[in-house]
Amino acid sequence: MSSPEHGRTSIGSAGEHRHPTGGGRFESFVDAAVTRAESTLEFEDPMVLKLSLMLRKVNQLMTDDANRQVHQAEGWTQASFRVCFGLWVAGPMPPHLIAATTNMSRASVSAAIKKIEEDGLISREPSPVDQRSTVLRLTDAGERAVIRTYQSHIALEHHWLEPLNETERLMLFLLLRKLLTGPAASEGRS
């Protein structure tokens, strides 16, 4: 049994778990999760479990950093930035398309719209194709706010991807794109 000082989870007396410390803490947790799963569950490839846990961890850490260091610092909620960023990238659109574009629920989009409209970052106009609907558009102030915030966001993303060289970044991009075009991703969109 490895000790906590070496980044491994161990079990102390009376089955009590001691949590690892240091840089290998999460990797030790992943190893422990795979070991636990192997003893109880049936599956083909332990690497799938490791990759899944690590992808989720990286995603959560990047999201938390962006929220704390960028969005909140600029006065955004995560939802309000995603709505405005979607409008900045794709242009004016109705709320239901914003939800689809940003992968947010309609309720989350609706709640975010109220605040950013009050803040003068978006405006509403009647839809040219559906008189029952409105189209949202970034105001000049909204566009400036998105650009300023996204510049900070890009700096944070560069910092996160610093450990990877150009070839590794390309490989990661190609692998993630392959996952996003796979059958599981397609099923998740329907």
The pLDDT, as a whole number, for residue 189 is: 57
Average pLDDT value for residue range 160-167? 96
Say which range, 1-10, 26-35, 36-45, 132-141, has the weakest mean pLDDT: 1-10
Residue 11 CA to residue 168 CA, distance in Å, equals 37
For residue 126, the SS3 value is: strand
pLDDT band at 158 (very low <50, low <70, confident <90, very high): very high
Longest dimension (CA), the chain: 70
Question: Does 8 score more than 80 pLDDT?
Answer: no
The span from the CA of 187 to the CA of 52, in Å, is 18
For 84-113, write each residue's pLDDT tens digit: 999 999 999 999 999 999 989 999 999 999
- On the question of pLDDT at 14 being above 70, the answer is no
Which of the residue ranges 1-10, 55-64, 179-188 has the most confident prediction, judged by mean pLDDT?
55-64
- 38 neighbors 58 (Cβ within 8 angstroms): no
> In whole angstroms, how far apart are CA 99 and each of 12, 96, 126, 170?
49, 5, 18, 29
Asked if the model's pLDDT at residue 17 lies above 50, the reply is no
CA distance 187 to 118: 37
How does residue 188 score in pLDDT terms, banded at 50, 70 and 90? low
Structure confidence at residue 127 as a pLDDT band (50, 70, 90): confident
